């Protein structure tokens, strides 16, 4: 049994005999003051252990931490001469010989449980059924102890006794697992209490659009305007790179060789992009600087007149 229950903190108590604080067993005293069950169990177990039963007593001490109920939990506490604690632990200590089963007053345990049921007004039916099973197990164990033992037969439990032992071990393991999970949840709760999460922001209320004055005709016209506006937005066209300033200068000089003057708008054309306009204007300024063309504007924001420059006239005269 101690091997199946896992490691636990050992309960230390004075190695005294029966607990001097234990109250006499009786129906009227079942709801007396609740003392520390772990300390009472340890005192009773240590007072009764012998040299041959020290290993079983140490296993019972380890089971105390696993099975001792919380002080705030309204559970049944059994009080007899050598024991004070929950009924499950009493049964376990009887199985491990930490408590003398021959001296255990079964009637006292039953009277205390009946007083407990009267105090809670018989509301916990499941607990009453569980007590019947545990009490029957105690009676069974005590009856086997009181019967004369067969010296020739091996000291082994029969099938029923083995089944009870396995059931008790399973219940103790389940109890230890639940207690461990409870401790883990308590640690998580304490850790979460140290954190402060960001409060959830409230979303602004949705704007309500009055629909009383709307009609199907208005919605159709609004949709038509939306479609028309989307069609006006032509997709962006990827144009080739504009010609260089030198290329545009050669183009202007070529046009001036066939005529004496021309308009800037004629050179630019109507389908030119903004980049081409800038390149053409820079080419014109460079030609004016070199003396190969002249430019004049008769009015504000008017068209620019481009004429042959002096250098271009001299070149043509020399060619002739």
Q: 242, 281 in Cβ contact below 8 A?
A: no
Q: What's the confidence (pLDDT) of residue 242?
A: 72
Residues with Cβ within 8 Å of 83's Cβ and at least 6 positions away in sequence, in order, are 40, 41, 44, 90, 93, 99
Residue 55, classed as helix, strand or coil, is helix
Average pLDDT over residues 260-272: 77
Does position 307 have pLDDT exceeding 80, yes or no?
Answer: yes
Token pair, residue 25, equals 């067993």
> How many other CB atoms sit within 10 Å of the CB of residue 142?
16
252 versus 185: the higher-pLDDT residue is 185
Give CA–CA dist 84/23, Å, rounded. 10
Q: What's the confidence (pLDDT) of residue 169?
A: 72
CA angle 251–254–260, rounded 5-degree value: 120
Taken in order of first residue, the domains within the chain and their CATH numbers are 2-146+160-180 (no CATH), 245-319 (1.10.10.580)
Average pLDDT over residues 121-132: 68
Backbone angles phi and psi of 305, in degrees to 5: -95, 125
197 versus 95: the higher-pLDDT residue is 197
Q: List, for residues 172-184, the tens digit of each pLDDT value.
A: 788 788 888 999 9
Residue 308, classed as helix, strand or coil, is strand
Q: List, for residues 82-95, the tens digit of each pLDDT value.
A: 666 666 666 666 66
**Distances from the Cα of 83 to the Cαs of 72, 208, 223, in angstroms?**
20, 74, 88
CA 130 to mean position of chain CA atoms? 37
Per-residue confidence band for 186, with pLDDT thresholds at 50, 70 and 90? very high
Q: 202, 34 in Cβ contact below 8 A?
A: no
Give CA–CA dist 303/298, Å, rounded. 8
Look-up of token digits 């204007």: 281
Give CA–CA dist 6/288, Å, rounded. 103
Average pLDDT over residues 42-51: 38
Mean pLDDT of the chain, nearest integer? 66
CA 320 to mean position of chain CA atoms? 95
Is the pTM higher than 0.85? no
Q: List, for residues 102-123, the tens digit of each pLDDT value.
A: 666 766 776 776 676 677 666 6
Q: What's the confidence (pLDDT) of residue 50?
A: 38
Helix (H) or strand (E) holding 15: none
Q: What's the confidence (pLDDT) of residue 201?
A: 77
Per-residue confidence band for 222, with pLDDT thresholds at 50, 70 and 90? confident
């Amino acid at each position: 049994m101690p091997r199946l229950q896992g490691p636990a903190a050992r309960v230390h108590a004075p190695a005294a005999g029966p607990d001097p604080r234990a109250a006499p067993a009786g129906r009227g005293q079942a709801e007396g003051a609740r003392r520390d069950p772990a300390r009472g169990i340890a005192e009773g177990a240590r007072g009764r252990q012998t040299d041959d039963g020290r290993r079983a007593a140490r296993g019972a001490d380890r089971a105390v931490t696993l099975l001792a109920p919380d002080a705030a939990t309204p559970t049944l506490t059994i009080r007899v001469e050598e024991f004070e604690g929950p009924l499950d632990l009493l049964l376990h200590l009887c199985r491990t010989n930490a408590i003398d089963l021959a001296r255990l007053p079964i009637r006292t345990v039953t009277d205390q449980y009946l007083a407990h049921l009267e105090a809670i007004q018989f509301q916990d039916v499941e607990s009453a059924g569980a007590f019947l099973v545990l009490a029957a197990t105690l009676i069974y164990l005590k009856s086997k102890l009181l019967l004369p033992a067969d010296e020739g037969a091996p000291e082994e439990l029969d099938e029923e006794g083995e089944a009870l032992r396995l059931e008790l071990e399973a219940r103790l393991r389940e109890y230890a697992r639940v207690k461990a999970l409870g401790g883990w949840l308590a640690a998580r709760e304490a850790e979460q209490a140290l954190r402060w999460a960001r409060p959830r922001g409230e979303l602004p209320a949705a704007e309500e659009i009055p629909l009383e004055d709307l009609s199907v005709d208005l919605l159709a016209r609004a949709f038509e305007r939306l479609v028309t506006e989307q069609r006006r937005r032509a997709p962006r066209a990827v144009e080739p790179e504009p010609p260089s300033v030198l290329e545009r200068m050669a183009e202007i000089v070529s046009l001036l060789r066939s005529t004496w003057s021309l308009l800037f708008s004629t050179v630019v054309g109507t389908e030119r992009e903004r980049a081409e306009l800038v390149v053409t204007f820079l080419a014109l300024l460079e030609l004016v600087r070199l003396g190969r063309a002249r430019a004049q504007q008769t009015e504000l924001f008017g068209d620019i007149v481009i004429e042959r420059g002096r250098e271009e006239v001299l070149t043509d005269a020399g060619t002739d």
